[in-house]
Chain A
Amino acid sequence: MAQAPLALMATLLEAEGLTKTFGALRAVAGVDLAVEAGSLHSVIGPNGAGKTTLFNLITGELPPTAGRITLDGHDITGRAPHAMPGLGIARSFQRNNLFPNLTVAQNVWTAAFARARHGLRLWRSAVGFADVAAAVAEALGEVGLASHGGRKAREMSHGDQRLLEVAIALASRPRLLLLDEPTSGLSPEETRRMMGLIRTLRGRYTILLIEHKMDLVMTVSDRITVMHFGSVLAEGPPTAIQGNADVRRAYLGTATALPTGP
């Protein structure tokens, strides 16, 4: 733990004045965000608060109207989405965004092969890369889908597809993992499984998490950023957010307490 305080204090991702407008709508309006290396940082807020747009700005899916994003001090603003895994950023999507007719293993393979930087290989068989196969097995094992590798992604249950979403992101071995509502649409049983997975990832990855399930957010997060109408309403550790009157009003319209974790 000797070097831990310094390492924990290092900011991995920083956004300054990040803004995205669609016509008259300011979907993200001057957001400042600092994600510390090794932490689990959650972004919460009512629907339409701009959380997913924020993710899309970070991963280059959308060009920001204004503002700056740095990773480890390097400016990555406006870099193309396909450059992100190489920079160390990987994401899962709010709605399943898979390769439906490829097998589960092939879905993960795409990310693992890109990460391995083998480049453009036209002549060798795709199954002949031992390092990639190992990375696929590791990512599938991590999310508990090791025995499903041969099935087509579209034949999986919604819950397993959500886990596959995360496995693809993990196969990029990212320095920063962005999880966009991993529990969306899951049954209570599946939600527990996903929450268990996120708990095991915590500490091993730097995670930026969008989530609506408050019991999960309040128990796993190191810090929480609350967004409302595109702006940051509050930021702090879970205890501070729970006690914040502005946050309660944004969520419930009244100053009732937020639900707490178990």
Chain B
Amino acid sequence: MGFRVLLPLLAACLLFPLLLRNTIATEIWIFAILALAFNLLLGYTGLLSFGQATFSGIACYVAGLLLKHYGLSLPVVMVAGVLAGALSAGVVGAFCIQRVGLYFIMLTFAFNQMAYFIAYQWTDLTGGEDGLPGVPRPPGLEGGLAFYAFTAGCFLITVAFMKRITDSPFGLVLQAIRENEGRAAAVGYDVKRYKWLAFTIAGAVSGLGGVLYAMLFGIVPLAAVHWLRSGDIVFMTLIGGSGSLYGPIIGAAVYTVLAESVSRYWDRWPILLGLAFVVVVLFFRGGCVEAWERIATAGWRRRRSP
């Protein structure tokens, strides 16, 4: 992967703990992982999944339970969480990709609601509304900075992984499906198979985000599997820009920092988010990335022609 891409991200990873509270900086990269996973579906395949919290949430519970009750080692918990994300997405995806457009969206949402209510009702296992408290971090990651560094490392690996996937023939076929499903089939691709695989890979990466989230606050909150979390991920990706690999990362950072800083002064702050959303949809369909590109080219033009 190009250093031109990795260097700014590496710089951000080093800088954020100096500028932000440790948990906020950590949360940014966790959400960035979730948004990157989601954007494989929205940005590359044209699938708006409104249920990504299903997979990150299930992985979050799996990791929380394994850490709390069995004290398993970090690699085992991570593999289990990623597998839980992939498996749940594989099953849910097999149903959802049978339909397109609005019906696809509603199916992903419906499965999210099912997962939420199972977690809500099955209090013996999940703690229901109270969440699953007392999740210990594995040895070595107890410190805030150590866990931050670990999360940032996971994030950078996820970026490299996603870059590799989206640059591959598989990634290009996904884009072809996004552009024109019918023609993609006509030139010889089993569209459903590709969609299912993208959905499952996104679930696996979401699983990684879920595992990290379980370890962040030492609790698996019910909110981890709530549809609002799915909505947050959609929102982050859209305000960042779904047209590029990096938009969702920017969106995750902007969203997390805004939520943290504004909510301290004004608890009706989601109104601002709503406003930002309207502005993005009306004027900057490509999100922050497009806004930045437009400002940059405008500035460049002004300098060229005084």
Contact = CB atoms under 8 A, between A and B. Distances in A.
Interface of A: 59, 61, 80-86, 90-91, 93, 97-102, 106, 109-111, 113-115, 118, 120-126, 129, 168, 171-172
B169 A99 contact: no
Given A102-B176, A120-B197, A82 B168 contact: no
A90 B169 CA distance: 21
A97 B189 CA distance: 15
Interface size bucket, B side? 20 to 34
Interface stretch (B31-39, B70-78, B180-188, B203-211): B180-188
Interface in B198-226: none
A111 B180 CA distance: 13
Given A98-B180, A110-B173, A126 B188 contact: no
Contacts of A97: 180, 182-183, 186
Contacts of A84: 186, 188
A99 B182 contact: no
B171 interface: yes
Interface string B165-177: 1011111110110
A168 B169 contact: no
B21 to A, nearest CB: 37
Given A99-B180, A102-B179, A85 B164 contact: no
Interface of B: 164-165, 167-173, 175-176, 179-180, 182-191, 197
Nearest to B194: A120
A217 B170 CA distance: 40
A100 B169 contact: no
Contacts, number: 94
A83 B171 CA distance: 21
A59 B197 CA distance: 25
A114 to B, nearest CB: 3
A51 B281 CA distance: 42
Contact of B188 (A100, A111, A122): A111
Contacts of A122: 164-165, 168, 170
B188 A172 contact: yes
Contacts of A90: 186-187
Contacts of A98: 179-180, 183
A84 B184 CA distance: 12
Contacts of B188: 82-86, 111, 114-115, 172
A123 to B, nearest CB: 6
A126 B172 contact: yes
Contact of B187 (A110, A121, A129): A110
A121 B180 contact: no
17 contacts: A82-B188, A82-B191, A84-B188, A93-B186, A97-B180, A100-B179, A110-B172, A110-B183, A110-B184, A111-B187, A114-B189, A121-B168, A121-B169, A122-B164, A123-B168, A124-B168, A126-B169
A111 B188 CA distance: 7
Given A81-B182, A85-B188, 10 more contacts: A80-B185, A85-B186, A90-B187, A98-B179, A99-B184, A101-B175, A102-B175, A110-B176, A111-B187, A121-B169
A118 B172 CA distance: 14
A79 B188 CA distance: 12
B226 to A, nearest CB: 31
B189 A126 contact: no
User: Which has the most chain B C-beta neighbours within 10 Å: A86, A110, A126, A129?
Assistant: A110
A248 B189 CA distance: 42
